[in-house]
Structure 1
């Protein structure tokens, strides 16, 4: 059965998704939404940087795209600063009977205990009303800290602690505004960045900890515990997306911790540097500039690193690609799922079927 798909946005991630949809044998790209008037009317293949036309013209006409009655929408529009807009979009799509796979808002990866129950119920009801499903995922939050660690737990005799995380070199990260405004890179060490205000880390990554706990039938203490460290630049740094003056924030490490009876049991950790020689005592990947990591203490003890690079060796571009592919490759499973909100822990195995050539 061919699944008819609309791609919603053609930013950095959306362009990758257009190409990925075209590569999947069971998917047919039937429409593309753009918010930039300059892109309206352009062929989706050209917008995606492909060397050919796909015969699908981009449009900013929402009603025209919904009138196509696609089976699914791959939603890669920015949502972290337009959370309620994203919720309204999802509600409209689900009620129209259109399945949705989305890269954000990331807390919808597993929103229980993070957003009001009535908001979760409203989305689920919209899906049941239209007979459609919503799945929010990616790589982090996403596959690297839900599917990957949960698969490893199937090898366990007993589990004492699960630690999942990202070790990243942000010197080649493309999102300077996110680095500056949210993470606080290049800003005074006297100013606490928004990401580190009480409750923000748990809001952004608590879904990871809570989904693992739910899948393992574990009840966590409340609230989740937040920890962080920051380091200043020892000299002026010029990275891809911004300048980092000496003395301003240049590295960050944080944890979101799920405890049981006051003892750490599930930890989400991020280690972020903007120069290779920073924080030598913090965790480092075994190879390359970044990785996703899973450690399980118990019987047996397990350590797994997922490294990734694109053809030019850029792990940040590769990170965007694997985010797009996790969404696109999940479309078929989400379309087949029961209506409502679908979480990674509930989906069947998703593979790259049809992509080996």
Structure 2
């Protein structure tokens, strides 16, 4: 059995899609569907069963492995960078991940865990995924701190030669429509441009960055799941790894890519950044992809322009009953 926690969410459901492409449907999806629209991400996917996250936690704490688990891809977490309930994030992101990790180690299952580029904070120590850098990092929000705590726990426990923790940078792509304010700017931009003909971006509050010139490492979700699939099949590669393109691009570049994919002229309006996030805003992120390349990962990252074109034309612009969902597109990407 392959277990994907957060399996109805954005990256999690994309990973189930990838497993299906690989001919795997012996999958347990773990999530918290509640009253969200996430269930739509599962409609086109093949999987064996579904468990609520609390039921799954109870089963693994009991110690047995009723699933005969091959691997756990642990994407389940609260990913909101504006979540202020620190106790909730401690339990849901940090403590829960410890239990899942212990379960995998006890039963010889592959463990691939979602960390985050939010652990890098303002980037004062760069964006190297070297294990030596981990203790020095100072996240800017509680979400990043909850991810940092697990990375530190694994480092101190000597577990990083047995598990994988992936620091995802700015991921975008199909299956994110349900994320509300946490949707990627590309997803929001498509709707905004369609309705108003223009896109709103934050002004810059640092002289070295023009408005819209703040930089991010934008990475396509299809590349992310290709990397995870490779790691799942390469158990001798372990540790903390960045997942990005290795190239920082501006928000203006992103805007140009979306407008181009929509066949429109770029029209951007720069707006004030909310004060509540100004002192926590990352002006630059760029994944150092050296370690993953040296480990032999063969995945070639998709450019921002090509990824935006695929996302906009093949998903966002399609009039689907189940919007933006990854379907059986083997002919596009195997």
Q: TM-score, normalised by structure 2?
A: 0.45
Higher alpha-carbon Rg: 1
